[in-house]
Amino acid sequence: MEYANRLEKYAPAQSEAQVAEEVAKMKAAAEKNENTEVYKFCYSSIDLTTLSCNDSDESVTEFAKKAVEFYDKYPEIPNVASICIYPSFVETVGLAVGDSPMRITSVAGGFPAAQTFLEVKSLEVAMAVENGADEVDIVLNVGKMLKGHYDEAANEVEVLRKEAGSDVVLKVIIESGALKTPELIRKASLLSMEAGADFVKTSTGKIDVAATPEAAVVMCHAIKDYYEKTGRKVGFKAAGGVRTPQEAVLYYTIVKEILGDEWITTDLFRIGASSAANNILSAIEGKQIKFF
């Protein structure tokens, strides 16, 4: 399917100076959101993540069981949105979480580089879903984006969207740190949404530059413009390098200010993190906590 020509119906990206100016305003606005209720929401929006070469069935089982224990340990705090792992651990997490409401997110499609055969990407997505993934995070083909092969990049997303099925939440990672410019970040976001993404996500966390507020501003404006054109709400996920409560609140503020209160729900806002969970929990409780 042709996707590049769909970009013509959207306005051009903001300039880097415009983005920087807006980020400065967001940082000022975020100060008023640094409170317990916002911290609790940010905690509930976390996709609690372990994506390490050291992961094993044993370590992932312990990780998942700890997340489930949180329901009883802190009943007054909404638990994290999901547990995010490599596809080979989806079944492991499913066994560990049992009949709890915890959702399972699997990275797939050749994560983190997306540099493999489309057939392999499709099979990996299909196997993750078959094994019980509720949500799948894939990576947009950055190499194709950088060379202007927009139709090819978007068509891969379309194929994986169909492979995942309509009941599975599909998050598309645009790897904003590699795309760098507001123009490419905006195009990648719009193409991903046009091809069926339920979320657009900043980063894999596997390259030097991960989530940035500048990328978030550009992506959220793209989501807003897409919604105004189509009426379909797409979520935003910040991932990679989000560690402190203040950083989480800044992304919350960007979403709230650009997209509005309707996006302040875990159906439309996520944070991909590991260390941030303990830090946000500590901010909520007012003391240092290392639960995970």
Residue 287 known to be catalytic: no
Name the pairing type of β-strands 103-107 and 269-273. unpaired
Choice among 121, 171, 187, 237 that is catalytic = 237
> Peptide bond before 112: cis, by omega within 30 degrees of 0?
yes
* Among candidate residues 155, 251, 266, 246, the one with its CA nearest the CA of residue 203: 251
Catalytic residue among 121, 171, 201, 256: 201
Residue whose token pair is 């997505």: 125
Residue 167 annotated as catalytic: no
Catalytic residue among 137, 171, 198, 256: 137
Which tokens is 64 given? 């998942």
- The yes-or-no answer on residue 147 being catalytic is no
What Cα–Cα distance (Å) separates residue 140 from each residue in 36, 100, 155, 197?
35, 32, 10, 11
Token pair of 91 as six digits? 């079944």
Active site residues: 137, 201, 237
